[in-house]
Structure 1
Amino acid sequence: MESYESKISIKSWAEEDRPREKLLLQGRRVLSDAELVAILIGSGSLNESAVDLSKRILHHFSGDLDGLGKASVNDLSKFKGIGEAKAISIIAALELGRRRKETEHKQTEKVSCSKDIFHLMHRYFADLNHEEFWIILLNRANKVLSQHLISKGGQAGTIADPKIIFQTVLQHHAASVILAHNHPSGNLKPSQADLDLTKKLRNAGQMLDIAVPDHLIFTDKYYYSFADEGLM
């Protein structure tokens, strides 16, 4: 005999439960971003469903997950209906997604152009609201040995110590080192400080017989290559 529960239609479910039912019946790929966020939130309020609250949050952050990925717990907690626990759940889920991307790009790549470095390093700079300076170490076959964070700074810049950079290069017996840092402002144009540092590191590398083939500046979606622009 069919149970009473099995006769209940999706329309009779509470608004915040419908994304869960939709996922069960149709699969995860049919859900909108707002519906997926609503599952993380769990419930809305008397005046707003979890889906509507999720739509409002996404709209605030440029309407997409890229904007939401930059949000802090404090940013999310400003929305009525989002407490600390719900904010943490959202941030944790987005971080898992970012880390999943990270596992897709294990460092077995051979670097042949600036785009290879962009694909390798983009995940490290995505969603940052501060500047970081990284180095990518290569062997003589141009295969990636490792990546290293050299320094963190604020929105205006960070300091990259040449001594630390080349000490790391020598410790790992690398044949060459590629430089990379981000501009949280979204401006790809290298500053005079960027140009001066690149020249200084390139000259230091020549003295140590270590090649410095490129320096990349990252924004969220794009990059600038010193080598591509003839500056190396």
Structure 2
Amino acid sequence: MQDNPYPFSIKQWSDDDRPREKLVQKGRAVLSDAELVAILIGSGSKNESAVALSKRILASVGNNLNELGKLSVEQLSRFNGIGEAKAVTIIAALEMGRRRKEQDIKKSGQVNSSREAFEVLLPTLGDLEHEEFWILYLNNANKILLSAQLSKGGLTGTLVDVRLVMKKALELGAVALILAHNHPSGSLRPSKADKEVTQRLKKGASALDIKVLDHLIVTQKDYFSFADGGLL
């Protein structure tokens, strides 16, 4: 039998197997990750359905949507059946999900524990493949006045300008700071440089009666708190 020269479209499936119809009839929660990705791409290749292709893409990242969100257009386009337009659609959808989560977490704007600080910072720092250092500026009710990037790249003392940090704190009327940076390697062990930068900022803040409440090391799945670990 001759191969079908056209992509294996979702429209060719039976009604029970179509993820779009399944979503409409039964709700979004019943769809698998592969079915949701299949809706985004619409069709597979002539030898592979959209769901089968989606399963293959997800398998390549350990069925982890966070890891899928890290793939570039070029990396996604290496899969047969995924062109630039479909790759962009997948990336855009996952980025919208990340921003939605970030907005939901920041809605209250109040941070009362290391876990809550981690949840605020995770959408920003969790998926990065390079290191960034951020500061949360807080008022006396522990509400976030500003979340600001301090540096990008490896963390060293030379990258931290204590005067600029304190100037911004005074402009905002902040009374407390939470420091944070990510470890793309996944390690939660604080380095010597991490500890030195923490102490420099803590000393500078103390002179202005501003508290450094914590310093978090953030990875994709977990965090280390200097405060909880007794390092502040």
Category of TM-score, reference length = shorter chain: 0.7 to 0.9
**Pairing 1:104-115 to 2, within 5 Å after superposition:** 104-115=104-115
Partners of 1:102 and 1:110 in 2: CA distance: 14
Partners of 1:201 and 1:78 in 2: CA distance: 45
The structural deviation recorded for 1:93 is 0.4
**Pairing 1:102-181 to 2, within 5 Å after superposition:** 102-153=102-153, 156-157=154-155, 159-181=159-181
The structural deviation recorded for 1:96 is 0.8
**Pairing 1:202-221 to 2, within 5 Å after superposition:** 202-221=202-221
The structural deviation recorded for 1:219 is 0.3
Taking only aligned residues, the RMSD between alpha carbons, in angstroms, comes to 1.9
**Pairing 1:1-232 to 2, within 5 Å after superposition:** 14-15=12-13, 18-153=18-153, 156-157=154-155, 159-232=159-232
Partners of 1:110 and 1:198 in 2: CA distance: 22
Q: Secondary structure at the match of 2:137?
A: strand
- Cα gap change, 1:83/1:219 in structure 2, threshold over 3 Å: closer, same or farther? same
Further displaced range: 117-126 or 87-96: 117-126
Count of residue pairs the alignment pairs up: 219
The structural deviation recorded for 1:106 is 2.9
For the 8 Å contact 1:181–1:217, the answer to whether it is kept is yes
Partners of 1:67 and 1:85 in 2: CA distance: 20
Partners of 1:64 and 1:82 in 2: CA distance: 19
What do residues 7-64 of structure 1 show as CA deviations (whole Å, max 9, x unaligned)? xxxxx95249821222222222111100110111111111111111100000001112
The one-letter code sitting in structure 2 at the alignment partner of 1:131 is E
The structural deviation recorded for 1:104 is 1.0
Normalization by structure 1: what TM-score? 0.88
Partners of 1:75 and 1:161 in 2: CA distance: 37
Structure 1 unaligned regions, length at least 5: 1-11
Q: Secondary structure at the match of 2:105?
A: coil
For the 8 Å contact 1:139–1:174, the answer to whether it is kept is yes
The structural deviation recorded for 1:105 is 2.1
The structural deviation recorded for 1:157 is 4.3
Further displaced range: 105-114 or 165-174: 105-114
For the 8 Å contact 2:126–2:182, the answer to whether it is kept is no
The one-letter code sitting in structure 2 at the alignment partner of 1:227 is A
For the 8 Å contact 2:155–2:194, the answer to whether it is kept is no
For the 8 Å contact 2:155–2:193, the answer to whether it is kept is no
For the 8 Å contact 2:57–2:79, the answer to whether it is kept is yes
